[in-house]
Amino acid sequence: MDRKGLREFLDRKVKEYNRPAFIDSDPISIPHAFRSTPDIEIAAFFAAIFAWGNRTTIIRKSRELMRMMDDAPHQFIMQHSEKDLKKMMGFRHRTFNATDLYYFIEFFKQHYGKYETLEDAFLKRDEEACRSPALAGFYRYFFSLEDAPRRTHKHIASPEKNSSCKRLNMFLRWMVRQDEMGVDFGLWKRISPALLICPLDVHVARVARHFGLLTRKQTDWTAAMELTERLRELDRNDPVKYDFALFGLGAVEKF
């Protein structure tokens, strides 16, 4: 398939999967239950961080956590009591447990005490050499609180560890991409969709390699950057829209 034919094919697949019917079966359904920007951001962040393994389980555990926060995550984080936290002691999703949850809550409380939106957390570049948004800067900022548990570090990826950062890049797609289809939120305006990195997992990587969009064998940060550069050749302003096509082909159609 030549480049023109590939673009036309993937564009059709984007339209097939980038539509409201996609929402209910995807972790993005969690933030879609909210209306205020901080609630959407917090719900989306947890749903994205939980997004490994079975999607039904991811959605169920994310909803369980939102119920524990009285379906008002921002208010809960800013106003919770010690008694409220004790009720969460038994929460677990795979390797994510209450220790991790308590740190996430404390980070959000500290952040929202200074900023109105989580977007500011992804604009902390420091000396970072990789592309915007600043994922390595976010990692350092996220774990800047005193006594950050060592075990919790594994739940936040960083390009400096050559991780593909799939879950963070998916979260950023949700927050940054803007279109008229009603799936992605497009809440953040200071990060350009043109600079997003495609969320890369085994499904996306398999399809991308089939179409010659990815040559690297490892599914890591270098591969995510390579794939995104190829996708920018198809649409330089919105390369990550093709995540819909590649993920749909790989995970849903088993292409």
Q: Give per-residue pLDDT as tens, 24-52.
A: 999 999 999 999 999 999 999 999 999 98
Q: How many residues does the chain have?
A: 255
d(CA 162, CA 17) in angstroms, rounded, equals 29
Q: State pTM to two decimals.
A: 0.95
State residue 132's pLDDT score.
Answer: 52
Query: Dihedral, CA atoms, 109, 120, 155, 82, nearest 10 degrees?
Result: 0
Q: What is the pLDDT of residue 126?
A: 52
Both structure tokens of 88? 């969460």
Q: 88-147: per-residue pLDDT in tens?
A: 999 999 999 999 999 999 999 999 999 999 999 999 765 444 455 789 999 999 999 999
Mean pLDDT (the chain) is: 94
**210: closest CA among 249, 153, 162, 252?**
249
Residue 5 has pLDDT above 50, yes or no: yes
CA distance 209 to 211: 5
CA 132/CA 129 separation, integer angstroms: 9
